[in-house]
Amino acid sequence: MGPTGCGKSSLLNILASRVPTTQSNATSMTGTILLNGSTRNDDFFRRISAYVLQDDRMYAHMTVHETLLLSAHFYLPNSVTDEEKEALVTQVIAELGLTKVSIGIAF
């Protein structure tokens, strides 16, 4: 936690391997990031880790279920049926432990 501009997002981007390690005019980084004592493989690390960016938007008038279903309709291909999307959303909600709040409470 800290004030705007203190580098919170920059640190997370570096740790999440979202910043290129090559030198450029705009970025200069030094140091080594180790994972369990070994040099981190950035490609592998990107595949196994993630975080939610601060600029993601939630809609106050939509429930958890409605928000995830909207995302499913936007991001899953048309070959995935509405029933499959519904099942996937229900599965994600259960895995996140949000079943009790998924239908009736908006953000």
Rounded to whole angstroms, what are the CA distances from 71 to 5, 8, 29? 30, 27, 35
For the chain, percent of residues with pLDDT exceeding 90: 30
Q: What does the pLDDT read at residue 24?
A: 60
Q: Distance between CA atoms of 52 and 71, rounded to whole angstroms?
A: 14
Give the residue ranges of DSSP H helices in the chain. 8-15, 42-48, 64-75, 82-95
Rounded distance between C-alpha atoms, residue 60 and residue 62, angstroms: 6
**What does pTM read for this prediction?**
0.48
Q: What is the pLDDT of residue 94?
A: 93
Please, are residues 73 and 81 in contact by the beta-carbon 8 Å criterion? Answer: no
Would you list the domain boundaries of the chain? 8-48, 64-101
